[in-house]
Amino acid sequence: MKTQVAIIGAGPAGLMLGHLLRAEGIDCIVIERASGDYILGRIRAGVLERVTTDLMDRLDLGARMHKEGLPHDGFNLADGERLIRIDIAALTGKQVMVYGQTEITRDLMDAAPSRGLEVIYDADDVALHDIEGDAPFVTFTKDGKEQRIDARFICGCDGFHGPSRQAIPASVGKPFELVYPFGWLGILADVPPCNHELIYANHDRGFALASMRSPTRSRYYIDVPVTEKVEDWSDDRIWDELATRLGPDAAAHMTRGPSIEKSIAPLRSFVFEPMQHGSLFLAGDAAHIVPPTGAKGLNLAASDVTYLSDALIGYFKRNDRDGVAGYSTKALARVWKSERFSWSLTKLMHRFPNDGPFERRVQVAELAYIASSEAAQISIAENYVGLPL
C-alpha cells in the first residue's frame, strides 16, 4: 500500500488528524493495534477546551457533542469547608464542554467510512522504518500476513507505550518525566452529580474530584498511594472517603450508588523533545502526558494535530516546508505551558508524602489567596479554559 501520510494510532489524536487531512484531499491511512470495540471500551475523561470543540465543529462532527455535552461556565476548588468558584465565563468569555473522550472517539470513528478515512484495526507488530529519509514505511501483521505501507510522512499518535516514540534514536530525543507518588482511584456510577460543575478538593485526608459524564452519570476520584489495590476499596469505603474530602456541602448533595467501573490510574508528567525526527512526527500521548488534574490530555492532542495538520496541508498543497520544519517547536511551546498548569494544580490540590505542616499551610494560604483575588482567578481560568493556539 502507498499513501501520503501513515498515521499510527486510532485514538482521538490519530482520528482527528486523519479527518483533518482527508478534508483537504490528502491521502492517509490509520493503523491501530487494538480493535475498535476495545478503544471504545476505554473509560476516559472529557473536559473539552474551545480548541477541541472548535476542531470538531471544523470537521462538521460536533452536532452530537453540542446536543449531549454539558457546557460549563465555571468549576470549583474546595478546601474541605468551602467552595471557591472560578467563573471562567465571566473571567474569560469562554466555556468548557463536558463530553467524554469515548464519545469524541465514537463520533470520529463513525464518520470515517463516509469521509474516505481508512482505518486498519487489529494490526500486530507495527514497526517504523527509514524515518530519517524521505521514503519511510510502516510494516505490520494483519490476519497473519505481513503488510507494508509506504508514505512520505509517518505520524505517531499511538500513545505513551506505542512504537513511534521508540523509533527516535536516544541520541536525538530527550525525555522529561516526573512520576507522582499517588494515583487516582476512580468510581463511575449511574447517579446524578453532586454539583452541576466540577469540584477539585484539597482536604487534610487528600485530594478528591467530583465530575460527571451526564446529568445521570457521575465520575468521582480520590488520590491514593501507588501501592493501593482497587479490590481493597469497596463502594461504601469510596463514598465515605469522598463525602469527607469533598466537604459538607458537596456531601449533602451526593447520591450514592453501585459502581459501574473502578480503577486506579497512576499520575505522571512527561514530555519528549523533539516531537519530530526526519519524516516522523509525534502527537498526543506519544509525546507528552499530563496529570489529569488540569484536564489537558485530550486537549493537548487536539492542539498538536491542529498544528500538525496545518503543516502537512501546507507541505502537500503549497510546497511549504517551513510548517513541517517548525512543528515541534510550535507544539512544545503550548505543551510546556499546559504541563506547568497541570503540575501546579496537582501540587496545590494534593498532599505529597514528604509534605509537612509548612507545605500544608502554604496550600491553605494559596487557596485563601485565590478565593480573595480576581487576578489569581483570571490566571487559573485562562489556563483551565485553554490558552490560545
pLDDT of residue 71: 96
Let me know if residue 334 belongs to a domain: yes
Composition of the chain by helix, strand, coil, percent to 5: 40, 30, 30
The span from the CA of 50 to the CA of 154, in Å, is 27
Is 384 tagged catalytic? yes
Q: Which of 276, 387, 274, 379 is nearest to 338 (CA)?
A: 387
Is 121 tagged catalytic? no
Which 3 state secondary structure label does DSSP give 256?
coil
Let me know if residue 263 belongs to a domain: no
Q: What is the extent of the structural domain holding 328?
A: 5-43+101-177+268-345
Cα distance from N-terminal residue to C-terminal residue, the chain: 35
Let me know if residue 300 belongs to a domain: yes
Q: Which of 98, 101, 264 is nearest to 193 (CA)?
A: 98
Let me know if residue 126 belongs to a domain: yes
**Residue pair 275/332 in contact by the 8 Å Cβ criterion:** yes
CATH number of the domain that residue 36 is part of: 3.50.50.60
The one catalytic residue in 72, 288, 330, 350 is 72
The span from the CA of 61 to the CA of 53, in Å, is 9
Is 71 tagged catalytic? no
Is 163 tagged catalytic? no
Let me know if residue 63 belongs to a domain: no
Is 193 tagged catalytic? no
CA atoms within 13 A on the CB side of 381: 24
The one catalytic residue in 136, 163, 193, 292 is 292
Let me know if residue 240 belongs to a domain: no
Let me know if residue 333 belongs to a domain: yes
Q: Which of 368, 379, 301 is nearest to 9 (CA)?
A: 301
Q: Which of 363, 85, 367, 340 is nearest to 198 (CA)?
A: 85
User: Which residues of the chain fall below pLDDT 50?
Assistant: none
**Tens-place pLDDT, residues 156-173:** 999 999 999 999 999 999
The one catalytic residue in 288, 296, 330, 350 is 296
pLDDT of residue 54: 95
pLDDT of residue 35: 94
Our count of domains for the chain comes to 1
pLDDT of residue 42: 78
Let me know if residue 113 belongs to a domain: yes
The span from the CA of 206 to the CA of 224, in Å, is 8
The one catalytic residue in 99, 200, 220, 315 is 200
